[in-house]
Structure 1
Amino acid sequence: MRQHGLPGLSARNTAMLEAVAALPPIVASDLFGMHPDTAHRWARFAQDTWADYLAACEATE
């Protein structure tokens, strides 16, 4: 991907958000070999609301 000027991390994160939005977190955990808690955190990031994201941004300022 780098050879074509595409950012790999952004693409991976987008794909993970799409996966956990479409699948239950425990299924994503099994598919990707991640800890169930990690899958649940990704699922929270994938929520339809931006409230948690905005709160996290304010907390880091």
Structure 2
Amino acid sequence: MTRHGHLPGRAGRNTALMEALADLPPMVVADLFGMGAKTAERWAAFAGGAWAAT
């Protein structure tokens, strides 16, 4: 946290990414976050969500 109580940019993005992967398939998250499909699949596996197996 910064001294003003806000999350730094990267931490906020990563938190949002993990939350999105809990509810959405990696291909949708890849489109939303502007990342490659393989990167989204790796994040899904890291997040351990139900989508990691699909």
- Calculate the TM-score normalised by the size of structure 2: 0.68
Tell me the matched-pair count.
48
* C-alpha distance in 2 between matches for 1:13 and 1:5: 17
State the one-letter code of the partner of 1:42: W
Q: Aligned Cα RMSD in Å?
A: 2.1
1:4 aligns with 2:17: no
Larger radius of gyration: 1
Report the TM-score, using the length of structure 1 for normalisation. Answer: 0.62
After TM superposition, give the deviation of residue 10 of structure 1 in Å: 2.2
Higher relative contact order (CA 8 A, sep 6+): 2
Partner of 1:56: none
Q: Which runs of 5+ in 2 are unaligned?
A: 50-54
Unpaired runs of 5+ in structure 1?
49-61
Higher helix share: 1
Runs of 4+ off more than 3 Å = none
